[in-house]
Amino acid sequence: MKPRKHALVTGGSRGIGAAAVIALANEGFAVTFFYRKNAYLADQVVAQVRRLGRDAMAYAVDVSDFSAVSHAVKQSMLEFGAVDLLVSNAGVSDISLFTDVTPEAFNKMIDTHLVGLFNVSQAVLPGMISRKTGNIVTISSIWGMTGASCEVTYSMTKAGIIGYTKALAQELGPSGIRVNCVAPGLIDTEMNSGLTVKDLQEICDQTPLGRMGTAQEVADVIVYLASEKSSFITGQVISPNGGLIT
């Protein structure tokens, strides 16, 4: 029997993160996930994984808090061993004119998307480098590739995640560590609950496949990048987006 691997997923209490937690558990990973505040949802995801006969643990950890991240990663390794796979998924959206973005809202975007990615990476990488094996999957967005009006701070931080992915893949390839990015198009999750039906329909109309994607469809790409089937892929951006950009 193959030894069980340990995956760490940030933002695993709902949406794409929750689908990734369940999909990775189904693939045999023991999964640790972080969420920020919704313990009820997190408990439901853990229960769903345990019903599959797999293991998961949830920690209420804000990814922007370096010491909380570092402490929780150490705790999780006592239970599930060294982290083999990091899925850096936690994210927030902010739809505003750029001139209306407050410094506080800007800092939240940077803290969640970029500081958070730095923090979780710093917590898992020393172990991966010393073991000369590891896998990181980052979650950007189609808007990090094209830019989106009224989502300038979201687009700029999501573009930063792509820069991280490409640079770190080069730095860590010789250490046996792969780093790839998933940049989804419009996905049917809570994150888009602030968009009007008209806004959603407009994006679907521009999408060749004519609909939003599902969290499961993004989780399927994450599982592929987490698997040995993608063993020669690193530094790449894969965009499940229904053909919205090609």
Q: Which of 9, 11, 24, 164 binds ligand NDP (CB under 6 A)?
A: 11
Q: Which of residues 106-125 bind ligand NDP (CB under 6 A)?
A: 112, 116
CB of 98 to ligand NDP, least distance (A): 18
For residue 115, give the amino acid letter. Answer: V
Q: Which of residues 217-246 bind ligand NDP (CB under 6 A)?
A: none
Catalytic residue, from 35, 59, 154, 164: name it. 154
Q: Which of 79, 171, 190, 199 binds ligand NDP (CB under 6 A)?
A: 190
User: Does position 15 bind ligand NDP by CB under 6 A?
Assistant: yes
Helix residue spans in the chain (DSSP H): 15-26, 39-51, 66-80, 103-110, 116-131, 142-146, 152-172, 197-206, 215-226
DSSP secondary structure string, 184-236?
A: --SB-SGGGTTS-HHHHHHHHHHSTT-S-B-HHHHHHHHHHHHSGGGTT--S-
224 is catalytic: no
Q: Which of 6, 25, 34, 223 binds ligand NDP (CB under 6 A)?
A: 34
Which one, of 109, 141, 138, 112, lies nearest residue 240 by Cα?
Answer: 141
Q: What is the C-alpha to C-alpha distance for residues 158 and 144, in angstroms, rounded to an integer? A: 4
Residues that bind ligand NDP (CB under 6 A): 10-11, 13-17, 34-38, 62-64, 89-92, 112, 116, 139, 141, 184, 186-187, 189-192
Active-site annotation, residues: 154
